[in-house]
Structure 1
Amino acid sequence: AHGLSPARALGGARWRGDRAGRHSADQGRGGADQDQAQGSRRPQGAAQGQIDLRAPRRRAQADAGGGFRQGAEEAGEEARPGDRPLPRAARLVRDRRGRAEALADAGVNIAILELVAGRAKEPTNRRFPLNATPVNCSIGNEGNLTISIQDEGGKVDLNIGSEDLLRALVLGLGGGEAAADAILDFRDEDDNRRPAGAERAEYLAAGRPLGPRNGPFLAVEELAGVLALTQADVDRISPLVTIYSGLNGIDTSVAPKSLMSAVAEGFERGGNIFENEGVSGLERLSDSGALAPQFLASSTRRAFMVRSQARIAGGTTFVREATIEFLASSTSAFVLRRWRRGAAEGAIDIPGTRPPC
């Protein structure tokens, strides 16, 4: 009931090759061709060394002059007469990637078990801090892990978060007024354009007939569809926002340092903007530079983003990112909201040189 099934157990993973498009050579052909392809016979008149393009790609066979074809082994199928295994180098790449992926998934499981066991603990007493601080460890000689847990309450909620807080974050990360206004116009329910924003007319003029959602973001990835945001804007903003906190403000006890710095910078950069909206400096930041009370909130400790980066001997790396949300009626049951491959970062080190996980 702990919901750990999505992650593979270490050592139990079996990687299968990507089958996408392997039957593309048969698309649009008649039944006779398909029957012949199933038998994998060379059609009459085909010269020795030619590839039978009417057979599926996985059955394509080059001549004996050194070519190789994709075998059933990579596709995870039963071998047939004539199948040849993948070259040794290709098998090593496949196996190393599979091992790294399984190790990263095991790291996610370790973090989830920690969350389940420690839901009653204070953030400062946890093995894994809840503000995305990475923890390095190893699993024997299998490889090294870098695991981090981020309480989503330490991010700015794209849907519920204060407009001033969201605007300050965007400005502090280097975005302009147009980017901030466009995000707010995307999520609100009306077609009233903010001074630098974008509503349906602006999207249509830009060749985007879908327009803004005019409703809550369904995923952080929807930032890529917001007019006026560059890919660089999306890449900077995405790690610091969420749709799962349900908070108007942020819980600074679990907020990443990068978010706090960006928000403070944004309030400074957008001073005139906030003054025009009637938000004074004292209402934005306290004398100590901390956020003013109206931008603070207490996390419900229900939604978390787990990041697990695995590195095995030879340098192969795999990163798994998962977002889970605990059910309000249970201390251990949770829903897996997001499961994706992440981007690797950090220095190379030798497996086994870190403390055990």
Structure 2
Amino acid sequence: MKSNKGLALIVVLWVITLLTIMASSFALTIQRESAIISGIKEKAEAQALAEAGINYAVVMLFNTNAEQQWQSTNSLYEVNYAGKNIRILIADESGKVNINYADKQQLLDLLNFAQVEEAQADSLSDAIIDWRDKDDLIGLNGAEEQQYKDAGLKYRPRNNLFNSVEELQMVLGMTPKIYQQIEDMISVYTKKAAINPATASRSVLLTLPDATEALVDEYMQQRAENQRNKQAVVAPDWYNSATATSNVYMIISEAMIERGSTAATMAVIRKGQAKNGLPFQILKWVKDYSVRSLFLPENDQWIINSDV
């Protein structure tokens, strides 16, 4: 009899232990699912705010009040909307390396900045030129149709201008790593090889002849001060170049909500009457844009006007 009672007690204890484990597992599952749902909600909220930031930037960029109008000289702004912070970068595309018109040296300087090995940079720059030129003549270390066939690729060079910066990924020798490093430094929206330093990013400025980190950082500080004081932004004295703008702008909007969750949207717009009656045309729109966060502490010094 005592033996049966002992067995019954053991069974009860095992049942209690099993139920406790099941309850704990269920609670943990609920907790994890709640965290996932909360994360999805925060990401969606941040994405919506980032898109709102793009629209707000367009309004401020085209504001007819000169005192309130936002600038496009690689200008960083911070605003608060619905209790959340949004950082917005506006840059005229004239400050980028145009892969349709850049000469050999500009391409080499761009690839060298991305720390591409010298021989690889030489062949890749020639392959870029071969892709966009209208003939089938092979550059010294370039690539035309036969080289693409030999590499097992099912396409050949366009032999015409790049339609998009993404097309650069198809050039023989281009790797995902190299492309990722230079993606935000290149453009196809202007029609000149010359880079406008007044609208260029720090990365692009470092590719210019005679540029050093000290000279570039000093110039960026002065440029930021000029923007804050509503003064004209001029080219640095160590780089002789025109500061013509393009009327095509890249806008990056990044929103931050609780626990540091962020989301970024990027748009490229062209100023001018569009078919839908708007005073601008959207050329590109990228959700979940992969970008080095605008909220990094190192970017605090570049904010032109904080409304937070």
TM-score (normalizing by structure 1): 0.60
Determine helix, strand or coil for the equivalent of 2:147: helix
Partner of 2:153: 208
Partner of 1:159: 100
Counterparts in 2 of 1:128 and 1:258: CA distance versus 1, 3 Å: farther
- Unaligned runs of 5+ residues in structure 2 are 1-24, 27-31, 212-236, 298-304
Q: Is the 8 A contact 1:139 1:356 kept in 2?
A: no
CA-atom RMSD, angstroms? 3.1
| 2:43 paired with 1:101 | no
Aligned residue-pair number: 241
Write out per-residue CA displacement over residues 32-90 of structure 1, whole angstroms, 9 at most, x where no aligned residue. Answer: xxxxxxxxxxxxxxxxxxxxxxxxxxxxxxxxx97xxxxxxxxxxxxxxxxxxx95444
Residue 103 of structure 1, CA deviation: 0.6
In structure 2, how many angstroms separate the alpha carbons of the residues matched to 1:256 and 1:149?
11
Q: How does 1:115-134 map to 2 (within 5 A)?
A: 115-117=61-63, 128-134=70-76
In structure 2, how many angstroms separate the alpha carbons of the residues matched to 1:329 and 1:336?
9
Counterparts in 2 of 1:96 and 1:299: CA distance versus 1, 3 Å: same
Instruction: Give the letter aligned to residue 174 of structure 2.
Output: L
Which of the pair has the greater relative contact order for Cα pairs under 8 Å at 6+ separation? 2
In structure 2, how many angstroms separate the alpha carbons of the residues matched to 1:131 and 1:205?
44
Instruction: Give the letter aligned to residue 132 of structure 1.
Output: N
Partner of 2:89: 148
| 2:281 paired with 1:335 | yes
Determine helix, strand or coil for the equivalent of 1:253: helix
Counterparts in 2 of 1:184 and 1:232: CA distance versus 1, 3 Å: same
Residue 105 of structure 1, CA deviation: 0.7
Q: Is the 8 A contact 1:182 1:197 kept in 2?
A: yes
In structure 2, how many angstroms separate the alpha carbons of the residues matched to 1:335 and 1:185?
31
| 2:235 paired with 1:290 | no
TM-score (normalizing by structure 2): 0.68
Determine helix, strand or coil for the equivalent of 2:198: coil
By percentage of residues, which structure has more helix? 2
Instruction: Give the letter aligned to residue 248 of structure 1.
Output: A
- Unaligned runs of 5+ residues in structure 1 are 1-64, 67-85, 267-287
Instruction: Tell me which of 227, 230, 235 is aligned to 2:180.
Output: 235
Partner of 1:311: 256
Instruction: Give the letter aligned to residue 189 of structure 2.
Output: Y
| 2:307 paired with 1:356 | yes
Q: Is the 8 A contact 1:171 1:180 kept in 2?
A: no
Partner of 1:168: 109
Determine helix, strand or coil for the equivalent of 2:254: strand
